[in-house]
A = this chain, B = another copy of it.
Amino acid sequence: MSSTTPLRSLNINNINPHVKEAKYAVRGELAVRSEEYRARLAKGDKSLPFDQVISANIGNPQQLDQKPITFFRQVLSLVEYPPLLEREDVLLNQLGYKADVIERARWLLETVGSVGAYSASAGAPGIKESVAKFLERRDGFPAEAKDIYLSAGASSGVNTLLHIICASPKTGVLVPIPQYPLYSASLSVLNARCVPYYLDESKGWGTDLEAIKAAHKQAVSEGTDVRAIVIINPGNPTGASLSAEDVEAVIGFAAQEKLVVMADEVYQTNVFKGKFHSFKRVLRELQKVDAEKYKNVELASLHSISKGMVGECGHRGGYFELCGFDPEVQEEIYKYVSISLCAPVVAQCLVEMMVNPPQEGSPSYELYKQEYDGIFAGLQKRATALYEAFKEMEGVECDEPQGSMYLFPTVNLPAKAIEAAKKESRTPDEFYAFRLLDATGVCVVAGSGFGQKEGTLHFRTTFLAPGTEWVGRISKFHKEFMDEFR
């Protein structure tokens, strides 16, 4: 066999080129190196200049400080092992379970049968009803179970929606920059076009209608068939929490240009500043005012159990709601999701509990509220501590924390650092992030992993890690880095 004949069927040059093109920095080379460090530390390696790896690269609350909410997990213990329900006395009198835990577990089991059985493709009907009721309470407008699709995390919902929307290599989807790279990666895999629109850093990373219009116009002029716009609110990686006016502006533009609105609202309860304005509510309000103009807007809004005070990423649960979609298109969505059978049923149960938690007066309410409020306060406190630290660092600019789980500071790096990065064939922000990891064990994601305006540099860090000692490590590293390259 000649040396030019590949030995195997698959090699790097003949696999799916669209998968190759996809980039997903959140779990890229930096994250892989951080896991290597973690493994070395676990094996007792003392040669590293830190004794702990802080995974601030990913919003993974329970890997760090966040404790699961007791009510949720007590119920799950019962749906996993229903014979416990025959021992109510032990549960109530010895294990501290409350009556509403038992009641909820019974109801969920009635609804799903067994958590080991496939549910209906788009989710267990009773749980979808519960989500619809939540949306009615949240927004003050009707919602229907038939429009709810339970998914394996919001990522899987995004994947489904993009699979339907992307009809050809000319299909384009407007995506905010910076963005959570799920969008650009999925569009790469689907061989469709990511149409970037820049968020306005000077306005706390809000949406800028003029920027959206310009991006749309240019894409159309290049022959792109723009079919949808993605908005992440509160923002990832930016943390921005959009005003009602920003939301209205996006919907108005979508109505005018006939774009599907994909509202990624997984951080809807992680809001520190202002309040959360759901796209659904704002859309329905606009429709009350001008039914004709807004009547055909198609909105898909996504939510997840992974974020917020729930933080149950590992369970892989979420849902999306469709408004204004053609029923024939919904049938195709149903068929598409049926190919992967159903979302994990335990995660479906968590979705139900997230949207329908213990209410005031019920036995588990007090503890639930205490835990929920405690997590919220802890996140806010750590966000503020990190923000205060960033304010003190030379060349670092950071907005006040607004929402989500992230800060996304600008870093102005000295020319010598930019030179040094070039020598290592890295972008300057990657160079900085690798240096940070190597020196402190703190893993962040370079801004280039999300996209950023030419000539600007950022990094994204979660504020999930406990304590503030690691913030001090970042400050110390930063000073030394600047001293080295100034």
Q: Please list the residues of chain A having a beta carbon within 8 angstroms of any beta carbon in chain B.
A: 7-12, 14-17, 19-20, 22, 24, 26-28, 35, 39, 58, 60-63, 68, 70, 73-74, 76-78, 80-81, 83-84, 87, 90, 94-95, 112-121, 125, 152-153, 155-156, 159, 163-167, 182, 185-186, 189, 227-228, 258-260, 296, 298, 311-316, 324-326, 328-329, 332, 335-336, 338-347
Contact = CB atoms under 8 A, between A and B. Distances in A.
29 contacts: A9-B227, A9-B228, A10-B260, A11-B329, A12-B332, A14-B167, A15-B167, A15-B332, A16-B166, A19-B336, A22-B335, A28-B335, A58-B118, A73-B81, A76-B81, A77-B77, A80-B80, A87-B94, A90-B90, A94-B94, A117-B313, A118-B313, A152-B340, A155-B341, A159-B340, A182-B339, A186-B339, A344-B347, A346-B346
A293 B314 CA distance: 43
Contacts of A61: 116-117
Contacts of A114: 62-63, 68, 314
A335 to B, nearest CB: 6
B81 A346 contact: no
Contacts of A326: 8, 10-12
Contact of A340 (B17, B156, B260, B341): B156
Contacts of A117: 60-63, 313-314
Contact of A113 (B63, B152, B185): B63
What is the copy number of this chain in the assembly? Answer: 2
Given A115-B315, A258-B9, A15 B164 contact: yes
A339 B185 contact: yes
Contacts of A87: 94-95
A145 to B, nearest CB: 12
Nearest to A59: B118
B81 A298 contact: no
Nearest first, the 10 closest Cβ-Cβ pairs linking A and B are A314-B345, A77-B81, A27-B338, A62-B114, A62-B117, A76-B80, A63-B117, A12-B328, A62-B116, A77-B77
B80 A325 contact: no
Contact of A316 (B77, B182, B313, B344): B344
